Copies of this chain bind each other. A is one copy, B any other.
Amino acid sequence: MTSDDRMIFRSAEIISVGTELLVGQIVDTNARFLSAQLAEIGLSTYRHVVVGDNLERLDKAMRRAVSENDLVITTGGLGPTEDDITDVVTARLIGVPLVSNQEIKSRLDDRGRTTPPNYPLIPEGSLFFHNDTGTAPGSLTFFTFEGQQKAILMLPGPPSEMEPMFLQYVRPVLEKHSMAKFIHRYVRLTGIGESRSEKMIRDLIERQGEVTIAPYASPGEVVFRVSQRLEHGDEDKTDATVEAIIERVGEFVFEVGPRNLAEVVYDLLNVREETCAFAESCTAGLLSSSIAAIPGASKVLRGGFVVYNDEMKRSLLGVPVDILMREGAVSAACVRVMAENCRLRTGADYAVAISGFAGPDGGTADNPVGTVYIALARCSGVFAKRFFFRGGRQRILKQSVAAALNLLRKGMIDG
């Protein structure tokens, strides 16, 4: 019933427990986080399952999962209330009692967390993992099921507790139980749609073998995931595929790796010791906050303006009335002035301005909903570009932010 360091996990199933997931109240981000983590350490995820807070259904799901996988990972259902049944179901399935653990208790006491008298409990004989941002501990229990060695890993449900626990305590343990290794590489594109970019690498997709290519698109970004399963002695062949993709769509590639567009822009600015500022109309701070999301943003971000109506464009950024009257606020002339004056007023090396029609209402015959003008101002001058994005309001705003970041990125690289 104790840890067995020699057991190799070949496949894992993730069971997310919680009625709030089944009625659509929240999105299950844990399954995604865990799958990505498992992939990195070479464990293959066989299935995700979501079940409600129901003893019988959870028991059924757990038995199935255990019969088909070496490792079953649960998230949620570890709290102190009656609703929280994951530990009860697991202990019953394994055939051990739930017990209190003095080390866990003292650690919670030290942190000043008060807990009910008979809480938390873990299956007897399990490895346990401290919860430094909550109360419910994690646990990993090895046991024999129908003659085969199995393991159940229980993790808390709130991502703010589960993620740090997994990264700090659980992952190093799981790594010891992994045999193969998956290599996943990500080629990231912007400024091109999914279908067009897929067409451009169709020959590679059709010829894929050991190294596979999988496309995925979100607003403003297309990602090709290049993957290979490596066992002892296998050669990493992903390089050639990544090169071949870049050969075909290189002009749209902004990153081969994990960074999103804002992170790439941040790193470029940081290395060059330069700064940026933003003048936003329709995106109203979304662009600026995409940089501020990155720790250390104050090294590169000075500030900026949100100018959501004509009067603000005039008073805060000095856009002349005749430009607003003749060309309109959604025009190349308007964003040029916005960018230039934003740069002057903030003293940033680069200023980017956005103005567009995000819909659902608004727009003109010449500039329908989806039309967005973006300008980049730098010491060598200012230039503006017209974009047209499809989709609903959120999608148009996200695509605008991606296009603006990309214009800034290119402005830095092209000098």
Task: Choose from B20, B296, B303 the contact partner of A307 (Cβ within 8 Å).
Answer: B303
Consensus secondary structure, chain A interface: mixed
User: Which residue of chain B has its CB nearest to the CB of A284?
Assistant: B292
B31, B303, B360, B392: which contacts A28 (Cβ < 8 A)?
Answer: B31
Establish whether residues B305 and A20, one from each chain, have CB atoms under 8 Å apart when the complex forms.
no
**CB-based contact B24/A36 at 8 Å:** yes
A184: interface (CB < 8 Å): yes
Q: Whole-angstrom distance between the alpha carbons of A191 and B31 in the complex?
A: 29
Q: Which residue of B lies closest to A186 (CB)?
A: B25
Q: What residue of chain B has the Cβ atom nearest to residue A216's Cβ?
A: B20
The answer to whether A306 touches B303, judged by C-beta atoms less than 8 angstroms apart, is yes
On chain B, the residues within 8 Å of A179 by CB distance are none
Instruction: Determine if A46 and B35 form an interchain contact, defined as CB atoms under 8 angstroms apart.
Output: no
Q: Is A315 in contact with B24, judged by CB distance below 8 angstroms? A: no
Most B CB within 10 A of own CB, among A227, A285, A302: A285
Nearest Cβ distance between residue A65 and chain B, in whole angstroms?
A: 11
Q: Are A28 and B26 in contact (CB under 8 A)?
A: no
Min C-beta distance of A273 to chain B, whole Å: 14
With A32-B27, A47-B50 already in contact, the answer to whether A285 and B293 are too (CB < 8 A) is no
Q: Are A303 and B312 in contact (CB under 8 A)?
A: yes
Is the Cβ of B278 less than 8 Å from the Cβ of A306? yes
- Does A136 have its Cβ within 8 Å of any Cβ on chain B? no
Quick check: is A22 within 8 A (CB to CB) of the other chain? yes
Choose the segment among A168-176, A380-388, A393-401 that binds chain B (4+ C-beta atoms closer than 8 Å).
A393-401
Query: Is A205 engaged at the interface, CB distance under 8 Å to the other chain?
Result: yes
Give the residues in chain B near A19, CB-CB below 8 Å.
214
Q: How far is the CA of A316 from the CA of B287 in the complex (A)?
A: 19
Per-residue 0/1 for A45-68: is the Cβ within 8 Å of any B Cβ (1 yes, 0 no)?
Answer: 111111100000100010000000
Q: Does A288 contact B (CB under 8 A)?
A: yes
A106 within 8 A of B: no
Taking a contact as CB atoms under 8 Å apart, the answer to whether B308 and A305 are in contact is no
Q: Find chain B residues with CB under 8 A from A32 CB.
A: 21, 24-28
Specify which of B81, B289, B305 is in contact with A286 (CB 8 Å cutoff).
B289
The answer to whether A283 touches B293 (Cβ under 8 A) is: no
Q: Which one of B36, B227, B285 contacts A292 once the chains associate, using CB atoms below 8 Å?
A: B285
Question: Least Cβ distance of A64 to chain B in Å?
Answer: 8
By a CB distance below 8 angstroms, the chain B residues around A101 are: none
User: Are A216 and B309 touching (Cβ within 8 A)?
Assistant: no
* A264 adjacent to chain B (CB < 8 Å): no
Contacts of A291 in B (CB 8 A): 284
Quick check: is A33 within 8 A (CB to CB) of the other chain? yes
Cross-interface CB contact of A306 among B24, B36, B37, B306, cutoff 8 Å: B306
- Chain A, 170-213, CB within 8 A of any chain B CB: 182, 184, 205
Given A225-B25, A285-B287, A61-B35 contact (CB < 8 Å):
no
Q: What are 5 inter-chain pairs, A to B, with CB distance below 8 A?
A: A23-B45, A24-B39, A25-B225, A31-B50, A315-B347
- 10 closest A-B pairs by beta carbon, nearest first, are A285-B285, A24-B36, A284-B292, A24-B35, A48-B50, A303-B312, A285-B288, A286-B289, A285-B289, A304-B306
